[in-house]
Structure 1
């Protein structure tokens, strides 16, 4: 294979979040070698393309245009957990204790990466808040997470709602992606009223 073509494919695969150049190189190499794995991978990608989308309400996944979170009548509609990404929802759901709704911002404010508040999903969050809403702020314990948490607090502090934050059992600089289920469960259990 032409080396430039191989490099171009790797660079395109590497554009996906979470894949290093080395991981992309190994993935492409394995798919070239194993045609069975390539066929399965291709089928899974097509299944995702045909069946998955983003919920227009909470920004989590929809399967065949139905959000399993928003459509679940057993969930507490008065509690909204605000997270940065869909992966954060997946991690919280694994503890199987939280029974409220979610709001996925899609990112956190990050001035270095030019992610300003105008590019983050705050407006749709505000439109979901009612007088008996509790907002649980479950953003990452990083500078960007703190900045975003404070921004949401400033937007909502005069709405007369209950604003809580997951406990700081999550270390500063830590991402929800890497938290074990026990730490996450404890953080939710020990949440407290958010104040600046």
Structure 2
């Protein structure tokens, strides 16, 4: 069973629909025991870092996420919460990835909304995907490039489009909204 984390953020239903279309049983939940026993965990996200982290802490999910050993995928805000710190609300986040989340420069077009390709792609999440393929982004904050960066996109400046460390994977873009390319990326994760 694939657990989709229920927390103070949106987008869980579209992720659930994409996973179900791929033939995997899934459940949207904040139940700690269900999350711990799930085959894989997805942390979706559309929302604000501070209120999302408050919900995770209130439910004890912050420590649970850090302790997970099965494959975990963070999407958009879910990815940003796996980093160390977010400028959004000056929020201390989970610290899985050793990078910070910063706001795009204010003089530019923000949020970054639309389809973008990649300058670098590597790792299991991107098997069968090439850098010219596009995924759908919508975000005002970005993760800095770091040692755990496995995909880079350039919008205003180069940033981490995906991160990976041990059993933790994350994408700034929305694979569930990224047509065939996104479905292949989701399938790669679900097949780990």
* Shorter-chain TM band: 0.3 to 0.5
TM-score normalised to the size of structure 2?
Answer: 0.33
TM-score after normalising by structure 1: 0.33
Higher relative contact order, structure no. (Cα contacts within 8 Å, ≥ 6 residues apart): 2
Higher strand share: 2
